[in-house]
Structure 1
Amino acid sequence: MFHENRSLQTESVSQSNSSEIVKQMQNDQILVATTPSDKVSEGYYLAAESNDSLKNSIKDLQNQSARFSNGFLRSTFKRKWGKDSIDKIMLNPSYITHGSQYEYAKNLSNANTLVYLQKHDNGTFYSSIYGQIRFNISSDGLVLGYTQSYLSDVRILREKSATISGSKALYNLYQYNEIPNNSKIDWEKLYYTKLLQNNQVYIPTWVIAFTTGDSSNIQVKRINAFTGSMLSSGNTKDAINSFSTN
């Protein structure tokens, strides 16, 4: 049985009246683009790993020049597609392997890169490395090619447990003094992210992205959706550190 790493558990932030916290955030000039949900949910401890399965699919791909290295399939299309055709391409295994197992991530995409994240029956994976497809888009809106990584052998390690709400995660992050004054919360999503850098265990995680002041640089923080404690943001920060707000 998988045992939770106790070093990541912290005492939950003391309960405060949510309206009082909202007022404090307003006083600190912290804006929230979308009101976070108070809905609680459930999730699992999952295990997943990256392997060479994409390498074996190269021979079946059409209209592209593809190569596989270090867990990534990199491909350039011979016939260029309009970006509006991507959803259709994703469903054709002759163009994209396992394409139906990914979903569009608007919050991670920009004019030059469209990002799709790998999904599972229990949620969506999010990391800087595995479980995503990044389409390269030209200035005139054509799909030039893509980079793909894939998580396989996804399995449940423990029975489902309750997760905290998005509002609770945001208030915890604020009370941990992790949101600077004059910040704007751009988005907050519940994803499956790595519990630790050096293992293959994924847990439900509230990923919160914000900008501060006049900067367009997006900062990313993670809250363990089981315990409400902070997680290192190292393996998610790189996922969007090249993006700026649109």
Structure 2
Amino acid sequence: MDFKRIEVIFLIVFFSLDIFLFLSFRNSQQLVSSTRTNTSTVTEMRKRNISFGSLDSKSGYAYYLGTQPNDDLEENSSKLQDQKVQYEEVNHTLASTLDSPIPVTTSNRKKIMDKFIKKESNILYGKNYKYAPQLSTHSQMVYVTTSNLGDVYDKTAQLIFTISDGEVLGYTQTYVRSMIILHERQSIKSEKDVITNLYANSEIPNNSKIAYANLAYTKLLEAKGSTIYIPVWFVTIKNKDSKVSTTKKVNAFTGNIIKSSTNGDSSYNAQ
């Protein structure tokens, strides 16, 4: 596709974000104004038996990114060996069933699958993915797309292995070829800002542990056939009694908490 045309499409889409950005900024100001200082909040969290490591207070930078869907997986599926594959065009998803399931254990599965994905006859573009323990479960291993711009925690750019009875049976894969920077870099909220804000807004219960706090890109919206991504903090909180984990998502630009809709997608209305 003509690169100039892609740039024009992204420019049109980006202008449509103006109202969204204004509303998000206004909502984030309301959140900040009601939050205590970070230092006193951290002290209070520890008194309430909330465990966490050292919180980074440094504010970094990130971008609005854009991409367009492609059918690279379908076009290169003939390179795959020892597996049966199907391609779903609507969501650009490749689904595979391995001819010979791969035996794994909890302790060795990362090492085995890290090696497996690097061979192109096993996984297309496998070198562009890395394991994401925060998104994985006992029955699924999730690998995410990674680049010099950052990781992508989104179903549009994931490699998910299915595990049953100690065997990897197959996988589903989505892939983004490249990301286009839509705007100059902007400052983002620090890890410390995000976690203390979550606590101040009653999103972190007493007697819990911050298991993960990772920054990654995820889909904001789709418009005119293009996908826009923003940086998001993914904070996983584990209850010390029930051992149940929940993951909170926070817009890294504004600090707004992202809600999940009933269909599992994200909603960018700030609490």
**TM-score w.r.t. length of structure 2:** 0.77
Question: What does 1:196-207 correspond to in 2, within 5 Å?
Answer: 196=221, 200-207=227-234
C-alpha contact 1:46 1:155 (8 A) present in aligned 2: yes
| Pair 1:172-2:192 in alignment | no
Aligned-residue Cα RMSD (Å) equals 2.6
Once the two structures are aligned, what percentage of the paired residues are identical? 34
Q: CA deviation at 1:31?
A: 2.6
- Judged with a 3 Å threshold, the aligned counterparts in structure 2 of structure 1 residues 20 and 162 are, in CA distance, closer, same or farther, namely same
C-alpha contact 1:221 1:233 (8 A) present in aligned 2: no
Structure 1 unaligned runs (5+)? 240-246
Q: Pick one of 42, 59, 70 that aligns with 1:40.
A: 59
SS in 2 for 1:167: helix
Give CA deviations for 1:66-88 in whole Å, capped at 9, x if unaligned. Answer: 11114221111113334443222
Larger Rg: 2
- Judged with a 3 Å threshold, the aligned counterparts in structure 2 of structure 1 residues 228 and 30 are, in CA distance, closer, same or farther, namely same
Q: CA deviation at 1:51?
A: 3.4
| Pair 1:155-2:176 in alignment | no
| Pair 1:60-2:87 in alignment | no
Give CA deviations for 1:117-172 in whole Å, capped at 9, x if unaligned. Answer: 01122101112x221111123433x3321111112342110011121210111111
- Judged with a 3 Å threshold, the aligned counterparts in structure 2 of structure 1 residues 196 and 95 are, in CA distance, closer, same or farther, namely same
- Judged with a 3 Å threshold, the aligned counterparts in structure 2 of structure 1 residues 235 and 99 are, in CA distance, closer, same or farther, namely farther
After superposing the two structures, state which structure 1 stretch, 48-57 or 108-117, moved more. Answer: 48-57
Structure 2 unaligned runs (5+)? 1-10, 104-108, 267-271
| Pair 1:7-2:23 in alignment | yes
SS in 2 for 1:87: helix
C-alpha contact 1:36 1:188 (8 A) present in aligned 2: no
Q: Pick one of 43, 48, 71 that aligns with 1:23.
A: 43
* In 1, Cα distance between equivalents of 2:67 and 2:98: 29
Question: What does 1:1-246 correspond to in 2, within 5 Å?
Answer: 1=11, 2=14, 3-4=17-18, 5=20, 6-9=22-25, 10=27, 11=29, 13-14=32-33, 16-32=36-52, 34-69=53-88, 70-82=91-103, 83=109, 84-127=111-154, 129-140=155-166, 142-196=167-221, 200-212=227-239, 214-234=241-261
- Judged with a 3 Å threshold, the aligned counterparts in structure 2 of structure 1 residues 149 and 235 are, in CA distance, closer, same or farther, namely farther
* In 1, Cα distance between equivalents of 2:261 and 2:128: 25
Q: CA deviation at 1:235?
A: 9.7
| AA partner of residue 131 (structure 1) | A
* In 2, Cα distance between equivalents of 1:226 and 1:236: 25
SS in 2 for 1:207: strand
* In 2, Cα distance between equivalents of 1:157 and 1:124: 17
* In 2, Cα distance between equivalents of 1:229 and 1:159: 21
* In 1, Cα distance between equivalents of 2:237 and 2:120: 36
C-alpha contact 2:222 2:228 (8 A) present in aligned 1: no
C-alpha contact 1:58 1:66 (8 A) present in aligned 2: yes
**TM-score w.r.t. length of structure 1:** 0.84
Q: CA deviation at 1:213?
A: 5.8
SS in 2 for 1:88: helix
| AA partner of residue 8 (structure 1) | S
Relative to total residues, which structure has the larger strand share, 1 or 2?
1
* In 2, Cα distance between equivalents of 1:133 and 1:220: 19
* In 2, Cα distance between equivalents of 1:121 and 1:233: 28
* In 1, Cα distance between equivalents of 2:221 and 2:43: 34
* In 2, Cα distance between equivalents of 1:89 and 1:105: 16
* In 1, Cα distance between equivalents of 2:243 and 2:92: 31
- Judged with a 3 Å threshold, the aligned counterparts in structure 2 of structure 1 residues 235 and 159 are, in CA distance, closer, same or farther, namely farther
Give CA deviations for 1:99-122 in whole Å, capped at 9, x if unaligned. Answer: 111111122223322110011221
